């Protein structure tokens, strides 16, 4: 989910002799980074494919939020299909051996994924807010048709915002190596700063306001919640974890990327040590953002009971049977005591009825 070209971004600094800094030590971790990319590709591709299959064949009444979850998984899956290219490039000391077309297309896919992911997460937060807080005033907007149209609008907007990747990305030669790098220019830097507001700060504000309103509502009415509202609360917990981990990966990256653009545009002048720290930080959080593309299926598996049951049904019979037994034996003690109390109450009611009967 992160922009892989950030691993080669320091080459742009070396086009200005007055600002030359040696960043060769940064690429020393290339084998470790390539290994992370491969691991994320395997786990993320399998996990997001499972999410799409389960959401597509869901037998129960589909929630509207499932529409956004499905599109979020599609965005991650399409990005992950390009990850082997970046892994090979990183392992080859950032040489790009796949041609200019794949450089542009892969970079474009990464950019579209970055924008669409944050937009779909914002939609998930708004849907939870409308369902729990504004159900009376705006409940009529929660229709499947509205969710599908919103998803299409997000894809169109993301595809448009990603177009500069096709214009400013290309294979360039540097010190005898062909690299897939970004062509910097004042217009490109201005666009990058503008998209930080449109595609990150604005959705982040929407997410913060939506989940804050939901948290206040649930805190006020926690003891009076009905079963339906309790299910919504559990659904909100899943959305909270997805968004929290997304921000953990992307917030540092966007801060560092903004600093990087300011450095390239000479808006701020700092020492080579500070420039190197920005490069290393961007490199680290690029990897963290990659990992984020495979964590959502894990969250569903841990917190969504229906998803967990559906996943077990996809496994071979013997493995699924063992996991189901473990799942049933590890149920919380509170749920067991509730069932015992419920059965005891029914027995007491039956005895009372028998005593009253003539």
146, 232 in Cβ contact below 8 A? no
Residue 43, pLDDT score: 94
Q: For residue 13, what are its two tokens?
A: 């600094």
User: Residue 2's closest CA among 259, 287, 247?
Assistant: 287
For residues 264 and 12, the answer to whether their CB atoms sit within 8 Å is yes
Contact 201, 247 (CB under 8 A): no
pLDDT tens digits, residue range 218-247?
777 655 555 555 555 666 677 778 888 888
- Per-residue pLDDT tens digits for 100-112: 899 999 989 988 9
Domains of the chain in sequence order: 4-314 (1.20.1070.10)
Mean local confidence (pLDDT), 185-197: 76
Q: Using one digit for the tens of pLDDT, what is the confidence trace for 192-201?
A: 778 778 878 8
Residue 58 has pLDDT above 50, yes or no: yes
> Which has the higher per-residue pLDDT, 296 or 16?
296
pLDDT tens-digit readout, 254-281: 888 888 777 776 667 767 777 778 877 8
Is residue 115 pLDDT above 50, yes or no? yes
Contact in structure between 154 and 116 (CB atoms under 8 Å): yes
Which of these ranges, 136-140, 172-176, 204-208, has the smallest mean pLDDT? 136-140
**For residue 55, what are the CA distances in angstroms to 29, 44, 52, 69, 246?**
38, 16, 5, 8, 21
Give which of 161, 166, 172, 147 is closest to 113, Cα–Cα: 161
pLDDT value of residue 267:
65
């Amino acid at each position: 989910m992160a922009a892989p070209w950030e691993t080669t971004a320091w080459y742009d600094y070396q086009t200005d002799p007055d600002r030359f800094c040696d960043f060769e030590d940064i690429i020393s971790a290339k084998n470790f980074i390539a290994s992370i990319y491969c691991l994320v590709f395997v786990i993320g591709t399998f996990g997001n494919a499972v999410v799409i299959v389960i959401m597509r064949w869901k037998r129960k009444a589909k929630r509207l939020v499932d529409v956004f979850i499905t599109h979020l998984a599609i965005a991650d899956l399409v990005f992950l299909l390009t990850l082997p290219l970046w892994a090979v490039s990183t392992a080859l000391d950032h040489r790009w051996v796949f041609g200019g077309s794949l450089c542009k297309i892969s970079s474009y896919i990464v950019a579209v994924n970055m924008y669409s992911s944050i937009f779909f997460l914002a939609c998930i937060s708004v849907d939870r807010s409308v369902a729990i807080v504004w159900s009376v005033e705006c409940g009529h907007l929660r229709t499947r048709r509205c969710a599908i149209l919103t998803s299409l609008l997000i894809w169109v907007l993301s595809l448009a915002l990603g177009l500069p990747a096709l214009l400013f990305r290309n294979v360039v030669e540097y010190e005898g190596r062909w690299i897939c790098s970004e062509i910097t220019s004042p217009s490109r830097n201005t666009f990058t700063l503008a998209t930080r507001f449109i595609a990150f700060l604005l959705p982040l504000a929407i997410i913060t306001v939506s989940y804050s309103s939901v948290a206040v509502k649930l805190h006020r009415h926690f003891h009076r919640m009905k079963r339906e509202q309790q299910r919504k609360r559990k659904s909100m917990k899943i959305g909270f974890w997805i968004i929290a981990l997304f921000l953990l990966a992307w917030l540092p990256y966007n801060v560092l990327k903004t600093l990087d653009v300011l450095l390239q545009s000479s808006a701020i002048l700092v020492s080579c040590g500070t420039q190197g720290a920005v490069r290393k930080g961007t490199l680290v959080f690029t990897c963290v953002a990659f990992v984020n593309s495979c964590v959502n299926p894990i969250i569903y598996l841990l917190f969504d009971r229906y998803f967990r049951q559906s996943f077990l049904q996809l496994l071979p019979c013997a493995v699924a049977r063992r996991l189901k037994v473990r799942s049933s034996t590890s149920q919380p003690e509170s749920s067991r005591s509730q069932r015992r109390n419920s059965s005891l109450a029914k027995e007491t009611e039956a005895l009372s009825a028998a005593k009253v009967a003539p």
